[in-house]
Structure 1
Amino acid sequence: MSPTVLKPRCKSHALLAYEALFRQVLPQYRKHESIISEYRKEKAGYDGERNVDYKLSTYPRKDFLVVQGIRLKNPPFYFQIDTLILTRRFICILEIKNQKGTLKYDANLKQMVQEIDGKVISYKDPILQAEAQKTHLREWLAMHGIFNVPIEALVVIAYPSTIIENVQGDPGVYNQIIHREGLHQHLERVGRNHPNHLLTNAQLKKLCRVLADEDTPLQTDILEKHGVSGRHLIRGIPCSKCHTYPMKRLYKNWQCQKCLATKPKAHERVILDHFLLHQPTVTNQECRNLLQIDSPRTAYNIMNTMGLHKSGKNSARVYHAPPLSEFPQDSSFPFNLQNHIAKQSLD
Structure 2
Amino acid sequence: MVPLSLKNRFKNYDLLAYEAVFRQLLEDYWKSDSIISAYKKEKAGYDGEKNVDYKLSTYPQKDLIVFQGIRLPNPPFYFQIDTLILTRNLIYILEVKNYQGKFQYDSKLQQLTQEVDGKATAYKDPILQAEAQKTHLQQWLEKHGIYNVPIETLVVIAFPSTIIENIHQDPEVYKKIIHSESLHQHLNRLSETHTKNILTAATIRKLTKALLHEDQPLHTNILDFHNLSDQHLIKGVPCEKCNHSSMLRLYKKWLCPKCKATAVKAHERKILDYFLLHGDTISNKQCRELLQVGPRTAYTILNSMNLSHKGSNSARKYYSPSLNEFPQNSYLPTKMQRHIKLSNSRIKWHHT
Matched, 1:326 2:328: no
Alignment partner of 2:296: what SS? helix
- Which structure 2 residues correspond to residues 244-323 of structure 1 after superposition, within 5 A? 244-294=244-294, 296-323=295-322
**Who is 1:14 aligned against?**
14
Tell me how far apart the structure 1 counterparts of residues 275 and 61 of structure 2 sit (CA, whole Å).
39
Residues 2 and 61, structure 1, Cα contact 8 Å, conserved in 2: yes
In terms of mean alpha carbon deviation, does 333-342 or 129-138 score higher? 333-342
**Who is 2:34 aligned against?**
34
Change (3 A) 1:342 1:293: farther
Residues 253 and 265, structure 2, Cα contact 8 Å, conserved in 1: yes
Give the TM-score, by structure 1 length.
0.96
Q: Which digits, 9 at most, give the CA deviation of each residue in 1:183-221, with x for residues without a partner?
A: 000000110011111111111111111101000001101
Residues 93 and 152, structure 1, Cα contact 8 Å, conserved in 2: yes
Change (3 A) 1:67 1:342: closer
Change (3 A) 1:118 1:309: farther
- Which structure 2 residues correspond to residues 52-201 of structure 1 after superposition, within 5 A? 52-116=52-116, 120-201=120-201
Q: Which digits, 9 at most, give the CA deviation of each residue in 1:240-291, with x for residues without a partner?
A: 0011111111111111011110110000000000001111110000001000
2:343 aligned to which of 324, 335, 341:
341
The one-letter code of the counterpart of 1:217 is P
Change (3 A) 1:124 1:264: same
Tell me how far apart the structure 2 counterparts of residues 181 and 170 of structure 1 sit (CA, whole Å).
21
Tell me how far apart the structure 1 counterparts of residues 207 and 341 of structure 2 sit (CA, whole Å).
47
- Per-residue deviation at 1:168? 1.4
- Per-residue deviation at 1:116? 5.0
Q: Which runs of 4+ in 1 moved over 4 A?
A: 116-119
- Per-residue deviation at 1:117? 6.4
Change (3 A) 1:217 1:271: same
- Per-residue deviation at 1:342? 7.9
Tell me how far apart the structure 1 counterparts of residues 156 and 206 of structure 2 sit (CA, whole Å).
28
- Per-residue deviation at 1:305? 1.2
Residues 99 and 162, structure 2, Cα contact 8 Å, conserved in 1: yes
Residues 36 and 340, structure 2, Cα contact 8 Å, conserved in 1: no
Matched, 1:217 2:194: no
- Per-residue deviation at 1:115? 3.8
Tell me how far apart the structure 2 counterparts of residues 255 and 33 of structure 1 sit (CA, whole Å).
33
| Structure 1 vs Structure 2 CA RMSD | 1.3
- Per-residue deviation at 1:170? 1.1
The one-letter code of the counterpart of 2:26 is L
Alignment partner of 2:263: what SS? coil
How many positions carry a matched residue from both structures? Answer: 342
**Who is 2:235 aligned against?**
235
Q: Which digits, 9 at most, give the CA deviation of each residue in 1:126-178, with x for residues without a partner?
A: 11101110000000000001102111100000000111111111111111001
The one-letter code of the counterpart of 1:297 is R
Tell me how far apart the structure 2 counterparts of residues 243 and 119 of structure 1 sit (CA, whole Å).
41
Alignment partner of 1:147: what SS? coil
Gaps of 5+ in 1: none
Tell me how far apart the structure 1 counterparts of residues 241 and 121 of structure 2 sit (CA, whole Å).
40
**Identity, % of aligned positions:** 61
Tell me how far apart the structure 2 counterparts of residues 158 and 36 of structure 1 sit (CA, whole Å).
22
Give the TM-score, by structure 2 length.
0.95
The one-letter code of the counterpart of 1:237 is V
